[in-house]
């Protein structure tokens, strides 16, 4: 490599916090990061799942890597500051954070009951915004870091089959745009990740298979790469970018009559 390589340096991902760490996608991200030598602090909701994850990561990690975590329901925003403190203390600093938790609601249930809709917005958007607010202030202060959030292609346009989820993911995406703008001068990268269909427990009810479906391993590879690069908005796999470009440009007059 030349001394004056034009490629920007990779951002270090040595001490990483994973929120919603037991998600199938986050688990694959965790394995990759551990294989690269990272120390991790993992937050998950269910103790049994979290323990299984931590056992596995500990077997994979080298002796100098620290792997730990704690249990929390992330809709409990009163605990957010304390969780981030614990992570920071445990890791001795934070280079990067991935927010991965989420739920895929039943749109019909959300249409039928406003409380259900609000709960979903709470899990998929408000809890994320609370976490981001805490994290942004810390990373801004330290003047480096990466904040990555798993959104969704569903956040790019509202569709009758899935608009509560879409609205939540869309809200997060716009929040992240603003945050990216704010933190650009603070050397903090804000990465919006928009996966398409991924074969995980979240999509257990759907009929899988075919070219649009990706494995969590593949998506995780894209996430880690985007975090190293400090990318802005990534679609995973890449082909969702042109697909969503088209979908976003269908005129509303036409779109509203489509069954999507």
- The question of whether 165 is a catalytic residue gets the answer yes
Query: HEC profile for 199-220?
Result: CCHHHCCCCCCCCCEECHHHHH
CA proximity to 198, closest of 220, 227, 228: 220
Of 41-49, 77-85, 156-164, 175-183, the segment contacting ligand NAP by CB under 6 A is 41-49
Could you give the CA distance from residue 219 to residue 184 in angstroms, rounded to a whole number? 25
Residue whose C-beta lies closest to ligand NAP: 102
Of 29, 74, 110, 244, which one interacts with ligand NAP (CB under 6 A)?
74
| Among 189, 154, 186, 187, residue whose Cα is nearest residue 173 | 154
Residues 203, 162 contacting (CB under 8 angstroms) = no
Nearest approach, Cβ of residue 186 and ligand NAP (Å): 25
210 binds other proteins (CB under 8 A): yes
Question: x/- binding map, residues 143-162, to ligand NAP, per CB under 6 A?
Answer: -------x-x----------
CA 198, CA 221: separation in Å to the nearest integer? 13
The reply to whether 65 sits near ligand NAP by the rule CB under 6 A is no
Interactions with other proteins, residue window 9-48 (CB under 8 A): 24, 48
The answer to whether 231 contacts ligand NAP (rule: CB under 6 A) is no
Question: Could you tell me the smallest distance in angstroms from the CB atom of residue 57 to other proteins?
Answer: 9
- The pair phi, psi for residue 214, each rounded to 5°, is -120, 155
User: What's the sign of the alpha-carbon dihedral 193, 197, 199, 202?
Assistant: positive
Closest CB to ligand NAP among 186 and 247?
Answer: 247
Which positions are annotated as active-site residues?
A: 165
């Amino acid at each position: 490599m030349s001394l004056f390589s034009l490629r920007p340096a990779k951002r270090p991902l040595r001490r990483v916090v994973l929120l919603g760490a037991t998600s199938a996608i986050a688990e694959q991200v965790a394995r990759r990061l551990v294989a690269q030598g990272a120390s991790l602090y993992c937050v998950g909701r269910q103790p049994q799942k979290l323990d299984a994850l931590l056992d596995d990561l500990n077997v994979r990690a080298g002796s100098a890597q620290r792997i730990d975590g704690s249990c929390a329901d992330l809709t409990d925003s009163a605990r957010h500051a304390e969780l981030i403190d614990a992570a920071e203390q445990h890791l001795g600093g934070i280079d990067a954070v991935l927010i991965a938790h989420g739920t895929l609601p039943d749109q019909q249930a959300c249409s039928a009951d406003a409380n259900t809709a609000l709960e979903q917005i709470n899990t998929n958007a408000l809890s994320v915004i609370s976490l981001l607010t805490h994290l942004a202030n810390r990373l801004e202060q330290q003047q480096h870091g990466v904040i990555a959030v798993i959104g969704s292609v569903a956040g790019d346009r509202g569709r009758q089959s899935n608009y509560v989820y879409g609205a939540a993911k869309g809200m997060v995406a716009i929040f992240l745009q603003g945050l990216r703008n704010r933190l650009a001068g603070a050397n903090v990268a804000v990465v919006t990740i928009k996966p398409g269909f991924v074969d995980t427990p979240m999509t257990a009810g759907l009929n899988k298979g075919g070219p649009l479906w990706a494995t969590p391993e593949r998506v995780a590879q894209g996430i880690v790469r985007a975090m190293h690069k400090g990318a802005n908005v990534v679609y995973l796999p890449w082909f969702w970018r042109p697909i969503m470009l088209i979908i976003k440009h269908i005129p509303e007059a036409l779109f509203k009559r489509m069954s999507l």
